[in-house]
Structure 1
Amino acid sequence: MAVDILIGLQWGDEGKGKIVDVLAPTYDIVARFQGGPNAGHTLEFGGTKHVLHQIPSGIFHPHIINIIGNGVVLDPIIFKAEMKKLADRNIDASQNLYISKKQLLFCHLISL
């Protein structure tokens, strides 16, 4: 199985989310493997802007498995709000979003 990795080298805001969204339809899996909540991957399609901070950009494609790996710092408040925004737009992220079991056991959390 071939794997492609997209890594940003300029402290974020290079357009990684947009690139992943363009490339995603040709892949089976999109994963975040490190980092924390980002400034926001802004994607626009169908005249609607979508901003993702923690959930992988492949979430808008129902056939793609999206993974949050154990190296990602998870902010439960941002994550919950992001899931709600997706649900409000009739996107059921629970169908194709997975969080690493290691993430659940050894999770780095941001809290108040």
Structure 2
Amino acid sequence: MRSATRAALLAASAVTALLSAAAPASAVPTVSMDCETGGGYYGCAPQISGAVPPMTITWTRNGVPVSQWNNRWAVSERCTPGQVLTLTAKVADGSGSASATDVFTCSNGPWP
């Protein structure tokens, strides 16, 4: 009887230890930005790693939110040659958020 009780207590302790073990910490996503320009247009795409769905992507252009671009993996539009643009993509998931920014000058030349 004692050995059965001891075995039950050990089993219960093992289950409790397994259930209370901390889950591995999720890493916050990392983001870098890749923008190119040419022919009076530009295109930007964030390079995302470590994000776990569900996630969101929010964009700002020159510090102003561009809500119609939200959750797009790439954006592009016409620009005025010589215009300096600042684009930021912020990626968020359940573990946190990260953002990346690219500052570039709109080019009328050929695409890189």
TM-score normalised according to structure 2 size? 0.25
Greater share of strand residues, 1 or 2?
Answer: 2
TM-score relative to the length of structure 1: 0.25
Based on CA coordinates, which of the two structures has the bigger radius of gyration? 2
